[in-house]
Structure 1
């Protein structure tokens, strides 16, 4: 079975290529809790600011099923954002597979893709339980079955929240790309090696224009201490702490960091300076831009910048400061 609305690897390549051309090098990722605290009218205005300075996409996700932190339903939010803008690609990063049945996921995605051609990317993740990879594979099977019957002509790329080799291989076999969250440049290179040349690689990059390094680093450390790793920041991210895409009790993010050479001391108490500096681009705009471009050089197609600010207008302020350096 193949990607939604498509018939084989050639169609997946076509979908990924169209998305790659439309996305450009840089987009934006904003946490669900930030958008929950933002009135819709304010969100519309801020999205138009982002579009005006040249970012290619805007992504957000949703909390995992049963999470204590609330958030807006992701497809409703994307519909508002699509209607408010003219060119921005909107990404679900991610839509939680535990939150809705495959038929609801496809018909929502296909409806938006029909209404706004080439402006939607569906990111999927959040499969839990003892065999999360199997659960995600079965979800994709069901999604493909529905897509063959309902709105089959509405084409949209699908990407997986994938960190480890098994999840990356699943993405290579079944969808149009991957959306790794809170990972260093080394992971982007690893992901590209595993998925090969065709699929999209769309990493998330936390950024801070805070001039004091200790304060910038604490933003990531506070999240890791509260959540065991990146889950609180993502609020609906790739995997549950007890599961992960490839099983085991250690957090999927920390397993990924270990694969990249980080040890116990790096993972303790929110993360060592070495780990945090690998995950976070901080400082003056040229330093942030250098890190973002390192992801592109490592194999990313499109890098999503996530400003660690108190609200959406402040995030857009930072993104406007970065735009002349990023988009020159």
Structure 2
């Protein structure tokens, strides 16, 4: 089996806000992949609904939490979806956060065991990716899946990840985006989105490896950290950050658009599509 095609630019959206109507609109705007965030359930019904509503794009999970659903359940869901929509589903899995999961012990061994379960359930290596930040899991991504889906990182992390993954493995980082040239407003939105991750060890450890220190991670996060993790400005500025990821070795970048509560995001997605896709 060949790896599902994701193209260069996709959209990452938390599970509650992803609807079939939005998926169709994004496909019509030219986005080539949708990433369902927020630990989608192992029955993967939402993935199926998004695929049913569209015709060409790939739907990926970003990510199914390995502590939430067993590989047999997820594997059966994958096979059900693959039978109806062959080659259009990319299964992203990950170990989540140690602070959020009481069972979180030896996550690397748990990932290996989960991949064994997916093998037994018939999920092809080419149709799955791993949430990966550190070197060890990045290497596992290249060895036992199609590649890696890093979350909340920087172009420098993308460069380092590509060196670890080597050529051929898929590298699909997520990038948070705000279409606003009001710096104070944009940073306020960005901090709301980043705040919870400042207390999660796997993310803070990764940022420390990238050169951020105690001052950057204190409180609500330094401006330097926030500006590195979230790009804001006009569509051309956003394109500049996406191009940095691509130049650093990313195959595909999935944008997570941040907007004010209650805002219809479609107009911003349209502006971004014009700049990023043409």
Query: What's the TM-score once normalised by structure 1's chain length?
Result: 0.78
Distance 1:302 1:126 in 2: 22
Distance 2:43 2:237 in 1: 32
1:327 corresponding residue in structure 2: 277
Q: Is the 8 A contact 2:172 2:254 kept in 1?
A: yes
Distance 2:43 2:151 in 1: 17
What's the CA shift string for 1:73-131, capped at 9, x where partnerless? 67111110000011111011101111211111111112212211121000001255221
1:140 alignment partner, one of 115, 125, 131: 115
Q: Is the 8 A contact 2:10 2:33 kept in 1?
A: yes
Distance 2:197 2:170 in 1: 28
1:103 to 2:91 alignment? no
1:274 to 2:224 alignment? yes
Deviation at 1:33, TM superposition (A): 3.9
Question: What pairs with 1:158-307 in structure 2 (closer than 5 Å)?
Answer: 158-225=128-195, 227-229=196-198, 241=200, 251-307=201-257
Change (3 A) 1:200 1:74: farther
SS at match of 1:281: strand
Distance 1:228 1:62 in 2: 14
Question: What pairs with 1:32-181 in structure 2 (closer than 5 Å)?
Answer: 32-35=15-18, 43-63=19-39, 75-126=44-95, 128=98, 129-147=104-122, 157-181=127-151
Change (3 A) 1:107 1:144: same
Distance 1:53 1:288 in 2: 17
SS at match of 2:211: coil
Deviation at 1:288, TM superposition (A): 0.5
2:13 corresponding residue in structure 1: 30
Change (3 A) 1:315 1:221: same
1:317 to 2:267 alignment? yes
Change (3 A) 1:194 1:155: closer
Deviation at 1:276, TM superposition (A): 1.0
Distance 2:228 2:197 in 1: 17
Deviation at 1:217, TM superposition (A): 1.5
Deviation at 1:307, TM superposition (A): 0.4
Change (3 A) 1:203 1:53: same
SS at match of 1:81: helix
Unaligned runs of 5+ in 2: 99-103
Distance 2:217 2:177 in 1: 20
What's the CA shift string for 1:268-287, capped at 9, x where partnerless? 12221111111111101100
Query: Which has the higher relative contact order, 1 or 2, with Cα contacts under 8 A spaced 6 or more apart?
Result: 1
Runs (4+) of structure 1 exceeding 3 A deviation are 71-74, 310-313
